[in-house]
A = this chain, B = another copy of it.
């Protein structure tokens, strides 16, 4: 059962905004919100995808790999959905998930999602858009991994983080550096060195705070590319005229 204040919030989410009331009700009736402590593993890769997850509060890390080698694939913050693809395909998870801080997670039974997709065209459309967006984000990640060095990925991550935090040039790394390193596809040691590499290119580091003191220098180093770095945005409400 999901509480009213949460329901409104979730309904705002693009994925749920265009579906029918019936669809949404089937979710609120069977879905439930659960609060998890920090460091809790929500599920592991290779388990059957039984629930669609929505982050209402906190932070969730999606990761994969064995104990030997592990990598972070994504960081999900409110309000964000994750592992939609596995749920739709009725497949196992490709990624594991753990909370990085105490988090409120809405869990919707996978069969309800699949059923809604078949009965509610508006919801089906929203799913398509959400899927396509996530897919494109992942392709961008893959391009970044294959085309750039670690320091370049970090530089572009910083530029993006700055934008997301208001473009003040004052960035707060909101996750542990080890996690950031894993997200960027490198070791913690290497991230540390990447930061050092960037120092001559217009940044100053103080613990978990980074200041971009010469934006042009950082941009010159990062060479940001919209086709790699721009976040996938929600499609415009109407059909855009090109």
Contacts and interface: CB of A to CB of B under 8 A. Distances in A.
Contact of A138 (B128, B129, B142, B232): B142
B121 A118 contact: yes
Contact of A147 (B64, B143, B235): B64
A133 interface: yes
Interface residues on A, range: 35 or more
Interface of A: 45-46, 48, 64-65, 69-71, 73, 84-86, 88-92, 94-95, 117-118, 121, 124-125, 127-129, 131-136, 138-143, 145-147, 185, 226-227, 232, 235, 239-240, 242
* Total copies of the chain: 2
A118 B240 CA distance: 16
Nearest to A138: B138
B227 A92 contact: yes
A113 to B, nearest CB: 11
B139 A73 contact: yes
5 contacts: A86-B132, A86-B136, A124-B125, A141-B142, A145-B146
Contacts of A242: 48
B139 A94 contact: yes
A204 to B, nearest CB: 29
